[in-house]
Amino acid sequence: MRHYFSFPLFILLSLMLNQGVFAEPSRVFFQETADIEAAGSISLELDYPFGAHGLSAGLRTGAFDGVILINSHAEAGTRMGFARSSVGYKRMIRKNIAAYGVLSYFDDKVNSGTDVAIGAAYTVKSGTLTYNINPELITDEVDGIRGSKNTIFIKGSAIFPLTTLTIGKASAIAEFNLVNNNKLDSIINLGLRWVPRKDVTLDFILYSDRGSPLVNANVDDIDKGIPGWIKANIQF
């Protein structure tokens, strides 16, 4: 088991004021929900996995009756996503249900390829709990993290609101990801979401089990993180 504790904490310390109507991103940790960002909204996504892959960024913007998704690089540490940058579009198709598509093209002068993802998300609230289910199909044209195979992901999560804080609000989140590809392992993420102000969402993945590492892995070499990940969404 690996333990990682370094992170640029100044990012957190600068995001502590201004209450209002909270606008959380239309995702959980690593899965889409049926929610859609407001038209005209723009938000910056920052991801920092402890111990690997470095800081990455993306954008979410409400447009064309849905949300446009732009990612600067893969979520390789989650064993899902693409090998390079991608752009996508998500739209609510009926109450509690959204559908989306994502396109990724890369050419590193050694390999090139075009991969696509299609998925749907169903989000429902029962009592105090919010449940989400997010099936997704991703292609893999070049022999990459999915072994040049089409892969079906079944992602799900449960969100439980905690007692309202003096600053903002918080929720506990449990997330899983199941796959039909024997090159990949199932994923479990446990953590907290803190919304300190109306335009900032901070996700702390306190425990992340991502299965076997991508390179030189064996069945006994399991990639876990305590803490595992931190994600931020900042709206403008």
- What are 80-123's pLDDT values in tens digits? 566 567 899 999 999 999 999 999 887 777 777 788 999 999 99
pTM for the complete prediction?
A: 0.81
- Average model confidence (pLDDT) across the chain: 79
Mapped onto helix, strand or coil, the DSSP state of residue 128 is coil
Domain positions in the chain: 2-13+22-235
Residue 138 has pLDDT above 80, yes or no: yes
Q: What per-residue confidence (pLDDT) applies to 80?
A: 53
Q: What per-residue confidence (pLDDT) applies to 33?
A: 96
User: What stretches of the chain adopt beta strand conformation (E)?
Assistant: 2-3, 42-49, 56-63, 66-71, 86-94, 97-107, 112-126, 129-138, 151-161, 169-179, 187-197, 200-209, 224-226, 229-235
Q: What per-residue confidence (pLDDT) applies to 73?
A: 60
Q: What per-residue confidence (pLDDT) applies to 47?
A: 85
What is the CATH architecture of 2-13+22-235? Beta Barrel (2.40)
